Structure 1
Amino acid sequence: MQIYLVGGAVRDGLLGIRGSDRDWVVVGSTPEAMVAAGYRPVGKDFPVFLHPQTGEEYALARTERKSGHGYHGFQIYASPDVTLEEDLIRRDLTINAMAQDPLTGQIVDPHGGQQDLAARVLRHVSAAFTEDPVRILRLARFAARLHAFTVADDTLALMRQMVADGEVDHLVPERVWQELARGLMEAKPSRMFEVLRACGALARLLPEVDALWGVPQRAEYHPEVDTGVHLMMVLDMAARLQAPLTVRYACLGHDLGKGTTPADVLPRHIGHEGRSAQLLKRVNDRLRIPNDCRELADVVAREHGNIHRSGELNAAAVLRLLERCDAIRKPQRFEEVLLACECDARGRLGLEDTPYPARARLQQALSLALSVDTGSISAAAIAQGLKGPAIGQAVAQAREDALNALPRGD
């Protein structure tokens, strides 16, 4: 039995990145021998085991053969006679197809992974890359993480062929979302979408997003003009501001409606907020997006324009905005709404370092609204003989009165 460190831990070690999860491949063993040694089996489809002390994953060296569409259509062969080189050749990218002997530190690199690391190139290992459409998403995600890397021309050609062959159409929604979510959380999310767009996969997986490129906006508000370019800047601003996934997904969907603006109206986008919310619902249902991401994205899509203009609003209008955002009941979510709107405002050419006063003003507004003692007001209203909606109106009036202390924006 021989054990090697493989995959991302080897790659990141060579890049000087520490803290990566460690995965291991075991050559010359069997499931029975692994269990006898104390390893715990994981699932039924793959010969993977957990180390009895560290909990790290140890996989038997294996080969795979395509047997159908999508990423489930594989037959796995794991046997003591499978070599390390046979195991490595089934991997996706050369930079992920290296192994390291933990005893000697020697790197096993049969496919030029170290050379591609030095050249900053994402390159497929073999033609087997085309057998798993998830690899398109994984490569795009790596591009978002290693954003100085380029995609090899022959690899991009393979990806385009996979899209043309309909392979990405067989991806299950949960796996698409898993990879998209991970890519959104990388250092430069825009690179993921650029790669997906370059190979044609974005038009198949997220046509609502793909439709934004080439759509103009008013240059006085958007110096970058192109709506797709703006979206990429917004996503990268969300990464710069270390926004959570909910905010980054809201940024992704906030302007989808601009892709459906009639040509004779351009470059204006009247009513795009409502259209964005409708398109988001389609994406949410298709990819089975988690509820926290759905809900935040819906609020941001509908209200980001009003939040940008909130400095012009009086107390009554600000209160209505807070109520539409359900900010009083969900103040933490409202904070994320404001962060997404800041990403939108600063994700514009030349405005990346411009202050966003609407965020601080609406934070103050919410604090003023929450400071109202609704219990005392309700009790006083009841004592006056008021009931039902009248009590609610008394509370709303008290909140509006509190918001009169809010200074108007510039």
Structure 2
Amino acid sequence: MQIYLVGGAVRDQLLGRPIKDKDFVVVGATVADMLDAGFQQVGADFPVFLHPATHEEYALARTERKQGLGYQGFSVHASPDVTLREDLQRRDLTVNAMAIEVSSLTDDTPVNGEVIDYYGGLNDIESKTLRHVSEAFSEDPLRVLRTARFYGRYYDLGFTIADETLTLMRQLVRSGELAHLSSERIWQESSRATMQLSPQVYWQQLFEIDALTEYFAPLHDAWNKTHIRETVQTALYFAGQMQLNLSQRWALLMSSLNADLFNITEKASNHHQLTAAKHISQIGNTAKVPKIQTQFANLFVQQAEQLSAIDALSAAEKIDLIQTCGAHKEPEKISQLLVCSQVLQLASTHRQMMLALGSFHAISMDHIESGLQGPKIGAALRQARIQHLEIQHT
């Protein structure tokens, strides 16, 4: 029997990140061996066990075969003859498919600390690349969301998704397999990603590969407008930096569904006749978003204009806003809503200034009349930059 620390704990140890959970693979053991050692089996048909003292997960080495639709459509084969290499091959990304041998079931001290790496995880850690282990990646649609989540998690370290892995993700989306994911797993992955330091990365990546159309269709439609998408992405970035809670982050994401908040006044198409509130509720029902997040998002989107103009409200309007928001019962709610409002306004202002900065750098001496001298050069550059920025706003 050999026991190995695997997956995220190995990856985060190599990256110098805190290790939250430890998972182990046991090679050469049977269910009876684990039960005799005092481990508790999780599920009748799945070879995963909880350590009697630490409650950490120990799984028998196993292989999987795709037999049905979705991430549950697999048959699992676990036996003492399954090797570590075979077990690691079924994992999603190379950075998650490394192992370190430990002493025993009761002692997780590394035998020698050597990282066992059959599939190039160490190289991909070095090159900061998220890459699939094998073509079996495309058998599990949940891996589209997981890869996007890992991308967001390690975005600040400079990680990118390998082109060939992005190709498989797009193929999975086009296959319709995402429709067979449970709403609970959709929310589990999405909420975890939304609470990361760079939550905008997950949602942007899913948008780019058309993965929002199944469970978040109204959001995908709204983000087709560059103005809305870029502003909300910036708001989510600020939300991550400011450590806002999940309800606040979800409200900022759902603000995408009210074009009025972004000074967009064109008529909506027939496809967009539902109100923002109905869209938020639709997403909430489809993706099993908890009611507390849906209700807060609806409240923010409905009251966003009032919140942004708080200084201009009359005494009566302020009292009514307190009543509407339920802040007389939960005083912290109005504070959370006001922070969301300020973040959204800051994101809008930031985007405008980034456009101005882009126009400034887009215009050089090559874009003005040759032969100008002295102050006329500066004046011509300034005017050309102004014209360039005005075009960006049209």
TM-score by length of 1: 0.79
Percent identity between the aligned chains? Answer: 42
Distance 1:137 1:49, change over 3 A: same
Counterpart for residue 26 of structure 2: 26
Measured against aligned partners, the alpha-carbon deviations of 1:368-403 in whole angstroms (never above 9, x if no partner) come to xxxxxxxxxxxxxxxxxxxxxxxxxxxxxxxxxxxx
Counterpart for residue 119 of structure 2: 111
Q: More deviation in 103-112 or 198-207?
A: 198-207
Q: What is the alpha-carbon distance in structure 2 between the residues aligned to residue 29 and residue 37 of structure 1?
A: 11
Distance 1:61 1:185, change over 3 A: same
Counterpart for residue 249 of structure 1: 250
Counterpart for residue 373 of structure 2: none
Q: What is the alpha-carbon distance in structure 2 between the residues aligned to residue 261 and residue 78 of structure 1?
A: 54
Aligned ranges for residues 293-372 of structure 1 at < 5 Å? 293-350=293-350
Aligned ranges for residues 1-400 of structure 1 at < 5 Å? 1-101=1-101, 102-147=110-155, 148-215=158-225, 226-258=227-259, 265-266=265-266, 275-350=275-350
How far did 1:334 drift? 2.6
Q: What is the alpha-carbon distance in structure 2 between the residues aligned to residue 197 and residue 292 of structure 1?
A: 25
Query: Is the Cα–Cα contact under 8 Å of residues 25 and 58 in structure 1 kept in the other structure?
Result: yes
Which structure 1 residue ranges, 5 or more long, are not aligned? Answer: 217-225, 354-410
The DSSP-based 3-state class of the residue aligned with 2:223 is coil
The DSSP-based 3-state class of the residue aligned with 1:348 is helix
Q: What is the alpha-carbon distance in structure 2 between the residues aligned to residue 259 and residue 183 of structure 1?
A: 27
Distance 1:308 1:239, change over 3 A: same
> Which 4+ runs in 1 deviate beyond 3 A?
259-263, 265-268
Counterpart for residue 363 of structure 1: none
Q: Aligned Cα RMSD in Å?
A: 2.3
The DSSP-based 3-state class of the residue aligned with 2:178 is helix
How far did 1:345 drift? 1.9
Q: What is the alpha-carbon distance in structure 2 between the residues aligned to residue 7 and residue 114 of structure 1?
A: 12
1:135 maps to amino acid = R
Q: More deviation in 194-203 or 308-317?
A: 194-203
The DSSP-based 3-state class of the residue aligned with 1:317 is helix
1:61 maps to amino acid = A
Query: Is the Cα–Cα contact under 8 Å of residues 169 and 209 in structure 2 kept in the other structure?
Result: yes
1:255 maps to amino acid = S
The size of the alignment, in residue pairs, is: 339
Measured against aligned partners, the alpha-carbon deviations of 1:250-293 in whole angstroms (never above 9, x if no partner) come to 11112313299999x3399xxx9x93222101111111211211
2:336 maps to amino acid = E
The DSSP-based 3-state class of the residue aligned with 2:243 is coil
1:144 maps to amino acid = G
Q: What is the alpha-carbon distance in structure 2 between the residues aligned to residue 161 and residue 293 of structure 1?
A: 31
Q: What is the alpha-carbon distance in structure 1 between the residues aligned to residue 225 and residue 208 of structure 2?
A: 17
1:245 maps to amino acid = L
Q: What is the alpha-carbon distance in structure 1 between the residues aligned to residue 352 and residue 342 of structure 2?
A: 10
Query: Is the Cα–Cα contact under 8 Å of residues 4 and 25 in structure 1 kept in the other structure?
Result: yes
1:146 maps to amino acid = Y
How far did 1:164 drift? 1.0
How far did 1:103 drift? 1.2
Distance 1:328 1:57, change over 3 A: same
Query: Is the Cα–Cα contact under 8 Å of residues 257 and 279 in structure 1 kept in the other structure?
Result: no
Distance 1:206 1:132, change over 3 A: same
Q: What is the alpha-carbon distance in structure 1 between the residues aligned to residue 300 and residue 94 of structure 2?
A: 40
Q: What is the alpha-carbon distance in structure 1 between the residues aligned to residue 94 and residue 207 of structure 2?
A: 22
Q: What is the alpha-carbon distance in structure 1 between the residues aligned to residue 219 and residue 260 of structure 2?
A: 8
Q: What is the alpha-carbon distance in structure 2 between the residues aligned to residue 227 and residue 10 of structure 1?
A: 39
Counterpart for residue 368 of structure 1: none
The DSSP-based 3-state class of the residue aligned with 2:249 is helix
How far did 1:308 drift? 0.1
Q: What is the alpha-carbon distance in structure 2 between the residues aligned to residue 240 and residue 37 of structure 1?
A: 45
Query: Is the Cα–Cα contact under 8 Å of residues 261 and 304 in structure 2 kept in the other structure?
Result: no
Q: What is the alpha-carbon distance in structure 2 between the residues aligned to residue 134 and residue 142 of structure 1?
A: 12
Which structure 2 residue ranges, 5 or more long, are not aligned? Answer: 102-109, 354-394
The DSSP-based 3-state class of the residue aligned with 2:213 is helix
Query: Is the Cα–Cα contact under 8 Å of residues 346 and 352 in structure 1 kept in the other structure?
Result: no
Distance 1:347 1:261, change over 3 A: closer
1:252 maps to amino acid = L
Distance 1:267 1:238, change over 3 A: farther
1:59 maps to amino acid = A
Distance 1:352 1:262, change over 3 A: closer
